[in-house]
Amino acid sequence: MIQEHALAIARCGHQQALANLEKVKADLDKARLDFKRFERLLKNHNTTQDAFELQQSRYLQVSAVYKLAQAQAALAAEQVRQAEAALAIAKKDLADTTVLAPISGRISRRFKEPGEMGSSGQPVVQIVDTSLLEVSAFLPSTLYALVTPGQTPLEVTVSGTALNLQTISYKSPAIEPKLRTFEIKALLTDVSKDVAPGSMAEVTAILEHREQWGVPAEAVLTRGGKSVLFTLDAAGLARQHSVHTGFESNGRVEILDKDVSGEWLVVVMGQAQLDDGSPVTVKKEEN
């Protein structure tokens, strides 16, 4: 830095001025002694007036040189202080030109090339924090009251990979008036490094959760305006059961009846041809 070199030069100049001041002071002390000695000699008439005046003139000249040396030393000290102040200002200016990113992360986009001129307010780079990912989605306004931030679970699938069950962390305080939707967000946890910011995600908000028996959707038939399914008893006979269905998800239908048993052998193929008590022959399905 130029200011550092200027400060070094100023300090050298100051040291030189101090050394010169010491030399001139020694000359002044010698000139003062000579002047005092010739003053006594003149008083005792042991020297001439001319010799005395020469010593007097030399003493006055060295005194003037000493004052000049003092002024030069003071000037050199002031130059050192000015150089130190200039260096401090330069360091501050340099610190002001060093812009630190407000977050840690990786550069995903560069708007300026090294050495290119920029101006205030213009972005230089775009930084993404890959250690902290957030998913954002919009839900219909009819579901607004059913979503509770910090409690409502969220199933997230990114690029075909299902993530661990997440939790909604944010719900928009207002509904978008035109689309009648509201925004939700979730901070993703335990995310693979293969999930990149900007990826498309499929989300499913779990608004209600309960445990019930479920059967394949194709096993439920409608007969006489009622939902029925067939099971196989120990004698190999078909048994018809009237059931009440609930939610349907992922190809399975919820059965709400309490007398449903997990030990039932539910018929899922050919049930449309059965009646209660029909004999059933189980055949291995051919590929």
- DSSP string of 162-180? EPPPEE--EE-SS-BTTTT
Alpha-helical runs (H) found in the chain: 2-43, 49-97
| pLDDT value of residue 284 | 66
Three-state secondary-structure class, residue 46: coil
| pLDDT value of residue 174 | 95
Q: Which of 57, 190, 89 is nearest to 133 (CA)?
A: 190
What order of strands is seen across the sheet that includes strand 245-249? 213-216, 252-255, 245-249
Say if strands 153-158 and 161-162 run parallel, antiparallel, or are unpaired.
antiparallel
The encoded tokens of residue 125 equal 């780079």
186 backbone dihedrals φ, ψ, rounded to 5°: -145, 130
> Is the Cβ–Cβ distance between 152 and 205 less than 8 Å?
yes
| pLDDT value of residue 287 | 53
Q: Which of 272, 275, 270 is nearest to 285 (CA)?
A: 270
137 backbone dihedrals φ, ψ, rounded to 5°: -150, 170
| pLDDT value of residue 286 | 63
Which amino acid belongs to residue 253? Answer: V
Three-state secondary-structure class, residue 115: coil
- Taking the model in full, what pTM does it have? 0.48
The encoded tokens of residue 181 equal 């939707």
Q: What is the largest CA-CA distance in the chain?
A: 161
The encoded tokens of residue 131 equal 């250690």
The encoded tokens of residue 239 equal 């048994």
- Tokens 């010491």 sit at which residue? 22
| pLDDT tens-place values along the chain, 287 residues long | 688 888 888 889 999 999 999 999 999 999 999 999 998 998 988 888 999 899 999 999 999 999 999 999 999 999 999 999 998 998 888 887 777 888 888 888 888 888 888 887 888 888 888 778 899 999 999 999 999 999 999 999 998 888 899 999 999 999 999 999 999 999 988 887 778 888 899 999 998 877 788 899 999 999 989 999 999 888 889 999 999 998 888 888 988 888 887 778 888 888 888 888 999 887 766 65
| pLDDT value of residue 47 | 86
Residue 144: DSSP 8-state: G
> Is the Cβ–Cβ distance between 156 and 163 less than 8 Å?
yes
- Tokens 């899922």 sit at which residue? 268
Q: How far apart are the C-alpha atoms of 149 and 185, rounded to whole Å?
A: 9
Q: How far apart are the C-alpha atoms of 263 and 231, rounded to whole Å?
A: 10
Computed on alpha carbons and rounded to an integer, the radius of gyration of the chain in Å comes to 49
Length of the chain: 287
What is the Cα 32 distance to its own chain's centre? Answer: 74
> Is the Cβ–Cβ distance between 203 and 168 less than 8 Å?
no
| pLDDT value of residue 62 | 92
Q: Which of 195, 88, 206, 74 is nearest to 139 (CA)?
A: 206
